[in-house]
Structure 1
Amino acid sequence: MKKVLLTGISGYIGMHCAVELVKQGYAVRGSVRSVKKTDAILNALNKHVDVNGKVEFCELDLLKDDGWKEAVAGCDFVMHVASPFFSSIPKDENELIKPAVDGTLRALRTAHEAGIKRVVLTSSMVAMLGDVTGDTNINHESWTQIDAKNATAYLKSKTLAEKSAWDYVKDKEIELVTVHPGPVYGPTITNNLSGESMSLFKRVITGELKQMIHASINMSDVRDVAAIHVKALENTAAANQRFIVATEAAHAYSEITTLLKQNGYNKVGTGVAPNFLVKLLGLVNNEMKGMMPYVGKVYQGDVSHTKLVFNWQPVPFDKMVLDTAQSVKTVLDAR
C-alpha cells in the first residue's frame, strides 16, 4: 500500500483528502501541530471510511525542521495542504507570507532529499488573479501580480508560496502539481463550524449575516478539491502543471442566499451590501479589508484543462450549496 504524507490533515480540505486517500487505497501519515488532536481526527474519519491501520500521525511545524525527515520516511508521495489562513489581514503581512513560503519549501526540500518523485501542493485561485481588478479570463497560466494595488497579504502568501515551489523544482528530479480552488464549500467532516467556509454558511442560515458582498468567482466543492489532489498523485499527464478545481462558471455570493431561501432556509437574508459601504468598512475592519480584491468584481476561471486531464466534472453549484447548508444545519440541530 502506497503511503502519502498529508500535511495539515486536521484542516477542512485536509480531512477530505484523508478520506479520499483511504477510499482510493492509500495509507496516510497526517501531520498535526499537536498529537493531542489525533483521537478526534480518527473518530471523525471513521464515520466516513475504515481508517484502521491506514492512518498515522506526526507532529510538524511549517517554520521548523524538526520531524520533517522522519515524517517523509517510507512515504511515496507528499500532499502539502497545510497553510496559514487569516480571514482578516494581519498587521504584519509576513505573519502569513513567511510560514506559507517557508513551509512549502520545507515540504519540497524534504521530499526531494528523501527521493520522493511527486508533490501535490494546495494553492488557490487567489494566486491567479492577474492585476486583481476583475480579470475574467483566469486559466492555468495566470498569476497574481503581488505588487497590484488590491493584492492582500493572503493573495501574496499563496502566490509567493507557489512561485517559490516552482522555482525550487525547476532544476531538480521531482515533479510538482498545484491545485487551485476558489472559495471552498461542501460538507464538514469534523462538525467544526468555526472555519471560514462553515462559519459563512452558519451565519447565513441562522440569519446573522443579512447581506452578501457584490462579487462573483468560481466556487469549489471540497469533495472535488480532495478528489483532484488524490488523482494528481499518479496521473502522468498532470506532472508539473497547475489545475483550477472549481465550478465551470463564476457565481455571485448572492446566488448562495437566493438558493437557500428558495429551499426553505427561511432566516436567510438575500440582501447585497453596497460596494461603497464594504469599502468604507474596509478602512477600519481588517476582515472587510480582506474582501477588497473581490468587491464589485467578477473572476472567471477556466476549468477545461482540469476536466480534460482528469476526465472530471465539477459537483454542480446547487448541490454544493445545499449539501453545505444541510451539513451545517445537522451540526446546529445536534447542539
Structure 2
Amino acid sequence: MASESQALLVLVTGGSGFIGSYCIIALLNAGYRVRATIRSLSKSSAVKESLKHGSLTDSSLESLSFVSADLSSDEGWDQAVVGCSYVLHVASPFPPQLPKHEDDLIIPARDGTLRVLKAAKSAGVKRVVLTSSFAAIGYGHPSRTTPFTEESWTDITKSNVTPYEKSKTIAERAAWDFVSSPEGQGLQLSVVNPVAVLGPVLSNDFSPSILLVQRLLKGDLPGCPDIMFGIVDVRDVASLHLLAMTSPAAAGERFLAIAPSAMTVQEVAITLKQRLPELSKKTRTRTLPDFLVRLVALFDPEVASIAAHLGKKKYPTNEKAKRVLGWEPRSREDAITATAESLVKLGLVKK
C-alpha cells in the first residue's frame, strides 16, 4: 500500500480527537501524506506529542500538516481539501453531557458534514469516508435479539432518542442525500458506524466512551447500570476507515464497527477484574437497580444520558465489514484491557 499511497494526500477532520488521531497514525504508517484539521493551530504541537504515544516517530510526522477549520464556519474548508485524494470526515460533536438544546448538537453535525462534502466535491476529492455511529442505526427501537445491521436506521421520532443519536442520524442521512443529489454527483461516500470506542488513549483528550473504564477503575461507580452496548478498539476503527477509503466495494456502503459481541457494564467490570486484578481493586461488579440509576439521573447529567437505555438489549453485527472488506477486529476484552493500561500509563488513573 505504501508505494501506491506515497503521493496521495488525505484530509482528516478532527485531527486532535481520539478516532482522528488513530486515523492519522494508520495513514502515515501506510505511507500517505496527511493534512489534519484542528480548531486552533496552536494545538498542533500538542497533537504531535500525543501521536508519538501511538508510536509515530519524528520522521513519520514530517508527512503530517495542519490547517485550521471549524465545522460551524465555511472558512478554511476550501483550503483544507485542496489537493486531497480522500477525506476522512471524523470530526463531530460528542459531549459527555446532554446539551440544553438538541440543536446545539444537530445543527453543527449536519451543517458541518455538508460543508466538508461540498468542499470535497468542489476540490475533486475521489471519496469521503464519514465517521457516523451506531447511534444512527440502533436507537428508537424496542429490545430485540435479532442483530442490528447496516440496513437499520435510528427512529428519531421516538421520545427516548437522545440529541446525540439524533445528530448522528440526521448528519449521516444528510450526507447520503447530498451524494445522491445533482450537486454531489460523482463524489463517492463510505460510512463507518462504530459502537463505543475504546483502546489506548494518547492524551487526556479522549473519547467519552473511555470515561466508563476510567470511572470503573477509580471506583467512582457504586455499581454497574444494566446497560448493554458494543465495543470496538480505536485502532480497528482506524483500519476500517482505510479499508472503506480504498476498497472499490466500499463505495456507497455503510459498515458497522464492533468487536463481537455486545456486553453489559457488569461484563466490562468483570473483564477488568479478571485481566487486571491489581489495577481494578476499586472496581465494583454488582448491578445497580434501575430505579436507583433513574434517581441519580435526576441530578447527574452524565447518568441522564444513559438512563433511557436501561435494560435494552442490542446486538450489532460486523458481518458486512468482515465479508466485504476482510476486516478483523481485536476482541472486546483486548480493547478494554488496552484502555485501562493506557489510562494508568498516562497517569489518568492511579495504580
SS of corresponding position for 2:347? helix
Q: Are positions 1:182 and 2:188 aligned together?
A: no
Residue 333 (structure 1) shift: 7.6
Q: TM (normalized to structure 2)?
A: 0.91
Q: Are the equivalent residues in 1 in contact too, given 2:204–2:348 (CA < 8 A)?
A: no
Moved more, 316-325 or 269-278: 269-278
Q: How many Å separate the matches in 2 of 1:155 and 1:240?
A: 22
Query: How many residues are paired up?
Result: 334
CA gap of 1:288–1:23, structure 2 versus 1, over 3 A, is same
Q: Aligned match of 1:71 in 54, 72, 80?
A: 80
Q: How many Å separate the matches in 1 of 2:290 and 2:273?
A: 23
Give per-residue Cα distances to partners, 1:135-187, cap 9 Å, x unaligned: 44310110001011211100000000000000000131111111011111000
Cα-Cα RMSD: 1.6
Q: Are positions 1:33 and 2:39 aligned together?
A: yes
Q: Which amino acid aligns with 1:167?
A: D
- The aligned counterpart of 1:115 is 124
Moved more, 74-83 or 282-291: 282-291
Q: Aligned match of 2:248 in 236, 246, 249?
A: 236
Report 1:1-335 matches (<5 A). 1-47=7-53, 48-50=55-57, 51-136=60-145, 137-171=147-181, 172-189=185-202, 191-192=203-204, 195-262=207-274, 263-264=276-277, 265-332=280-347
Q: Are the equivalent residues in 1 in contact too, given 2:214–2:349 (CA < 8 A)?
A: no
Q: Are the equivalent residues in 2 in contact too, given 1:121–1:176 (CA < 8 A)?
A: yes
SS of corresponding position for 1:131? coil
Q: Which amino acid aligns with 1:299?
A: K
| Overall identity of the aligned pairs, in % | 38
SS of corresponding position for 1:232? helix
Q: How many Å separate the matches in 2 of 1:229 and 1:255?
A: 28
Moved more, 114-123 or 50-59: 50-59
CA gap of 1:334–1:283, structure 2 versus 1, over 3 A, is closer
Q: Are the equivalent residues in 2 in contact too, given 1:132–1:151 (CA < 8 A)?
A: no
Residue 113 (structure 1) shift: 1.1
Name structure 2 gaps, 5 residues minimum.
1-6
Q: How many Å separate the matches in 2 of 1:121 and 1:248?
A: 22
Q: How many Å separate the matches in 2 of 1:305 and 1:174?
A: 23
Residue 132 (structure 1) shift: 3.3
Q: How many Å separate the matches in 2 of 1:241 and 1:110?
A: 21
Q: Which amino acid aligns with 2:304?
A: K
Give per-residue Cα distances to partners, 1:52-93, cap 9 Å, x unaligned: 321000000101111110110111111100001112111110
Q: Are the equivalent residues in 2 in contact too, given 1:132–1:150 (CA < 8 A)?
A: no
Residue 104 (structure 1) shift: 0.4
Q: Which amino acid aligns with 2:8?
A: K
Q: TM (normalized to structure 1)?
A: 0.95
Give per-residue Cα distances to partners, 1:29-72, cap 9 Å, x unaligned: 00000011100111222341233321000000101111110110
Q: How many Å separate the matches in 2 of 1:305 and 1:59?
A: 35
